[in-house]
């Protein structure tokens, strides 16, 4: 049984790794918590002895095991942060040199994908627009200018482990590099009205030659 949809981006594996790392540590912690809960529950039912029960838990000595628990969790916490920091920087804070550039603009209730025209530049008169069809070349860094015309939408590409809200009045540039060819879903992850459930696009990742052909076809129309 697979948990995640197939990963098809250069950084998706790192996102999955963070999930499994935290899940692994949490699983160990859960076993400890379950033991700590079950042990008294199973063994201390109406023990009418009076041994050692008047403990108020004051002072460092009495609380030392709890402090130890907090310390262990703190170490785990900072380990997670240490591990995820570089991935966050990579996905969100840096923009590797682009090999292709599109604008992806949300509107109720479709995605407009704007491709640069024959001049290779975005936001010029020869740009071409496609509705809900997002072509990209494989193994290339694609910059996405994420925008919205009306309300907040959110670009969600499960196979790339990528998500970014699209806000009216802002241009947010993020990147993705797909490592597999094929078609992948792109959904809208932020409620945007009655048609929110219908808002989806298809990502078509092609090898570089096919992609060139697709572009020429787009320009002809």
Partner 1 sequence: MNTHKKHGFWHRYFFSLDHKDIGFQYMLTIFFMVSIGGFFAYVFRMHLAFPDMKVPLFGLVTNKDYNMLITNHGLIMMMWLALGMLLAVAGNFLIPIMIGTDDMAFPKLNKISYWIFLLSVILMIASFFMPKGGLGVGWTLYPPLSVGDFGYNTPYKSFADRFFTANTFVLLAIAFEFTSLLMGGINFFVTTLNKRAKGMSLLKMPMVVWMINIANLLFMFSVGPLVAGTFMLLLDINVGTGFYDAYRGGDPLLWEHLFWFFGHPEVYVILLPPLGILAEIISVNSRKPLFGYKFILTLTLIAAVLSTMVWAHHQFVAGIDPRAATVFSIFTIIISLPFAGIILAYIATLWKGDLRFTLPMKWALGAVALFTLLGGFTGLHLGASVFDIYAHDTSFVVAHFHYTLFPTVIFGSFAAIYFWFSKFSGRKLNQTLGNLHFWLTFIFFNGFAFPLFLLGLAGQHRRIADYRQFEFLMQDPLPLYRKIATISAVILILSQFIFLFNFIWSLKRGKKETEDNPWQANTLEWQTSSPPPHGNFKVYPVVNYGPYEYNRPDKDKDFTPQNEI
Nearer to partner 1, 53 or 220 (CB): 53
Nearer to partner 1, 37 or 131 (CB): 37
Of 102, 105, 188, 205, the one binding Cu ion by CB under 5 A: 188
- What binding mask, one character per residue, do residues 153-192 give for partner 1 by CB under 8 A, x or -? -x-x-xx-xxxxx-xxxx-x------------x-xxxxxx
Nearer to partner 1, 62 or 207 (CB): 62
Instruction: Respond yes or no on whether the N-terminal peptide bond of residue 181 is cis (omega within 30° of 0).
Output: no
Non-local (6+) Cβ contacts of 136 within 8 A are 100, 102, 142, 176, 178, 203, 204, 205, 206, 211
**How many positions of this chain bind Cu ion (CB under 5 A)?**
5
Of 13, 19, 120, 180, the one binding partner 1 by CB under 8 A = 19
Give yes or no for residue 117 binding partner 1 (CB under 8 A). no
**Which of 30, 207 has the CB closer to partner 1?**
30
Chain-centre distance for alpha carbon 145 = 17
* CA gyration radius, the chain: 25
Q: Please identify, among the stretches 18-26, 97-105, 110-118, 204-212, the one whose residues bind partner 1 according to the rule CB under 8 A.
A: 18-26
Planar angle of CA 101, 125, 216, nearest 5 degrees: 60
Span of 38-46, 132-140, 188-196, 204-212 interacting with Cu ion by CB under 5 A: 188-196
User: Pairing mode, if any, of strands 153-157 and 110-115?
Assistant: unpaired
Q: Are 124 and 117 in contact (CB under 8 A)?
A: yes
- DSSP code string of 51-83: TT------HHHHTHHHHHHHHHHHHHHHHHHHH
Which range, of 47-55, 143-151, 152-160, 200-208, touches Cu ion by CB under 5 A?
152-160
User: What is the DSSP code (8-state) at residue 168?
Assistant: B
Q: In this chain, which of 105, 166, 186, 192 binds Cu ion, going by CB under 5 A?
A: 192
When CB distances are held under 5 to 8 angstroms depending on the partner's kind, the choice from Cu ion, partner 1, none that residue 98 binds is none
């Amino acid at each position: 049984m697979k948990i995640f949809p197939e990963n098809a981006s250069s950084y998706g594996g790192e996102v999955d790794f963070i999930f499994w790392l935290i899940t692994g540590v949490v699983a160990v912690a859960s076993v400890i918590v379950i033991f700590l809960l079950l042990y008294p529950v199973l063994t201390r039912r109406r023990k009418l002895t009076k041994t050692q029960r008047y403990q108020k838990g004051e002072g460092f000595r009495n609380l030392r095991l709890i402090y130890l628990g907090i310390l262990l969790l703190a170490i785990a916490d900072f380990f997670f942060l240490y591990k995820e920091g570089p991935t966050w920087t990579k996905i969100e804070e840096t923009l590797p040199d682009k090999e292709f550039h599109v604008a992806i603009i949300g509107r109720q209730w479709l995605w407009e994908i704007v491709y640069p025209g024959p001049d290779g530049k975005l936001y010029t008169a020869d740009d071409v627009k496609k509705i809900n069809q997002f072509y990209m070349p494989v193994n290339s860094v694609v910059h996405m200018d994420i925008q919205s015309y009306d309300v907040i939408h959110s670009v969600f590409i499960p196979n790339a482990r990528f998500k970014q809200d699209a806000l009216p009045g802002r241009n947010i540039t993020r990147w993705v590099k797909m490592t597999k060819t094929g078609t992948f879903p792109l959904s809208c992850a932020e409620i945007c009205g009655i048609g929110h459930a219908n808002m989806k696009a298809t990502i078509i990742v092609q090898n570089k030659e096919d992609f060139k052909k697709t572009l020429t076809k787009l320009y002809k129309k």
